[in-house]
Amino acid sequence: MALNWSLTTFDDLTPAQLYDILRLRIDVFMLEQNVPFSETDGKDAGALHLTGYDGTALACYTRIFPPGHKYDGHICAAARIGRVVTCKNYRGKGLGHVLIKEAIRTIEEKCGATAITLNGQEHLQDFYAAHGFVTEGDIFIEDDIPHVKMTRKAAS
């Protein structure tokens, strides 16, 4: 499946793109996963938004924070990936792996060789490990779901 990839700042998202992104995140994180927290967490304005469209349908999405971004009150040396999500209609086709590869490629292209961190859902550790991410620390609860911090070392 050939997707049309787009990397956009928050201010440059069209209303339709923002609607698609928020709808996908709400559908998956709030409705499917039954998370009782607002999906609008105040962090989108500082992120780059990576979208993968199949025609006019948003198939997958993640947000990227470059190194030096402020996250939860501190400045982060590593880039960060968050809100990794694939539309229900596109699951089971390996698209999650394609999305992570595209996010890593994008970070390396835009930011150079840098470490990348993420907070992954605990049950997805093997998925992220397949892309070079290593679990750091203990399991913690984020939005009522067990998560782990994972880091991918800077490409050499």
Phi and psi torsions of 34, nearest 5°: 55, 45
What letter does residue 56 receive in the DSSP assignment? Answer: T
What's the domain count of the chain?
1
- For residue 92, the enclosing domain spans 4-152
pLDDT digit string, tens, across residues 59-96:
999 999 999 988 778 898 899 999 999 999 999 999 99
pLDDT digit string, tens, across residues 115-155:
999 999 999 999 999 999 999 999 999 888 999 999 999 97
pLDDT digit string, tens, across residues 88-108:
999 999 999 999 999 999 999
Percent of the chain as helix, strand, coil, to the nearest 5: 30, 35, 30
The answer to whether 64 and 47 are in contact (CB under 8 A) is yes
Q: What percent of the chain has pLDDT over 90?
A: 78
Residue type (1 letter), 21: I
pTM attached to this predicted model: 0.94
Q: Is the alpha carbon torsion for 23, 130, 2, 78 positive or negative?
A: positive
What pLDDT was estimated at residue 135? 97
The answer to whether 40 and 26 are in contact (CB under 8 A) is no
Query: How close are the terminal C-alpha atoms of the chain, in Å?
Result: 30
In CATH, what number is assigned to the domain containing residue 68? 3.40.630.30
